[in-house]
């Protein structure tokens, strides 16, 4: 390593990875239902898609976690997005491609992807 730029490149790459270990108040939480019903319906690829994309895009204020059964087993895989100071948004019947859309439009763009949310 001979330049500050090289150091910065490593730093930026690692920041997204070690950033998961900070405990900030102002984080958006993405919670994936990972009970038996969720796993059976395919929640794991959804979870990994979210966590990979959030780190790839460097979304430092988003934490991806799992939770147990939310109670709507027929809608699994279910993903809840909780932004500080906003109402919870619940996405249902998710898969990895839909997850990518949610990351792009909701987490980055700030616009809820209504077509995947729970229908009244």
Partner 1 sequence: MYRSHVLVCGGTGCTSSGSQAIIDALESEIKKNGLETEVQVVKTGCFGLCALGPIMIVYPEGTFYSMVKEDDIAEIVSEHLLKGRIVSRLVYDETVVEDGIKSLNETDFYKKQHRIALRNCGVINPEAIDEYIGCDGYEALGKVVTTMTPDEVIETILDSGLRGRGGGGFPTGLKWKLAKGNDADQKYVCCNADEGDPGAFMDRSILEGDPHVVLEAMAIAGYAIGATQGYIYIRAEYPIAVDRLNVAIKQAREYGLLGKNIFGTDFCFDIELRLGAGAFVCGEETALMTSIEGHRGEPRPRPPFPAVKGLFGKPTILNNVETYANIPRIILLGADWFKSMGTEKSKGTKVFALGGKIKNTGLVEIPMGTTLREVVEEIGGGIPNGKKFKAAQTGGPSGGCIPAEHIDIPIDYDNLISIGSMMGSGGLIVMDEDTCMVDIAKFFLEFTVDESCGKCTPCRIGTKRLLEMLDKITKGQATLEDIDKMEELCYYIKDNSLCGLGQTAPNPVLSTLKFFRDEYVAHVVDKKCPAGVCKDLLSYSIIKDKCFGCGMCAKACPAGAITKTDYVAPGKKLPAYEIDASKCVKCGACVGTCKFKAIVKE
| CA–CA gap between residue 80 and residue 66 (Å, rounded) | 10
User: In the complex with partner 1, which residue's Cβ is closer, 4 or 74?
Assistant: 4
Provide the minimum distance between the beta carbon of 118 and partner 1 in the complex, in angstroms, as a whole number.
20
The answer to the question of residue 94 lying near partner 1 (CB under 8 A) is no
Taking CB under 8 A as the criterion, the residue among 39, 96, 112, 113 binding partner 1 is 39
Provide the minimum distance between the beta carbon of 69 and partner 1 in the complex, in angstroms, as a whole number.
9
Provide the minimum distance between the beta carbon of 27 and partner 1 in the complex, in angstroms, as a whole number.
8
| CA–CA gap between residue 99 and residue 56 (Å, rounded) | 14
Taking CB under 8 A as the criterion, the residue among 26, 40, 48, 90 binding partner 1 is 48
The answer to the question of residue 17 lying near partner 1 (CB under 8 A) is yes
Burial code (b: 16+ CB inside 10 Å, e: under 16) for 14-39 equals eeeeebeeeeeeebbebbbbbbebbe
| CA–CA gap between residue 78 and residue 43 (Å, rounded) | 8
Residue 14: φ, ψ to 5°: -75, -30
| CB 53 within 8 Å of CB 103 | yes
- Segment interacting with partner 1 (CB under 8 A) among 31-39, 75-83, 89-97, 111-119: 31-39
The answer to the question of residue 75 lying near partner 1 (CB under 8 A) is no
């Amino acid at each position: 390593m001979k330049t500050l730029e090289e150091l910065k490149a490593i730093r930026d790459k690692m920041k997204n990875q070690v950033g998961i270990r900070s405990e900030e108040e102002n984080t958006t939480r993405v919670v994936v239902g990972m009970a038996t019903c969720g796993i059976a319906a395919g929640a794991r690829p959804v979870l990994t898609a979210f966590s990979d994309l959030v780190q790839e895009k460097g979304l430092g204020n988003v934490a991806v976690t799992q939770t147990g059964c939310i109670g709507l087993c027929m809608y699994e895989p279910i993903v809840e997005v909780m932004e500080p100071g906003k109402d919870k948004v619940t996405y249902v019947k998710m898969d990895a491609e839909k997850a990518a859309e949610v990351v792009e439009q909701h987490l980055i763009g700030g616009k809820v992807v209504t077509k995947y949310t729970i229908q009244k």
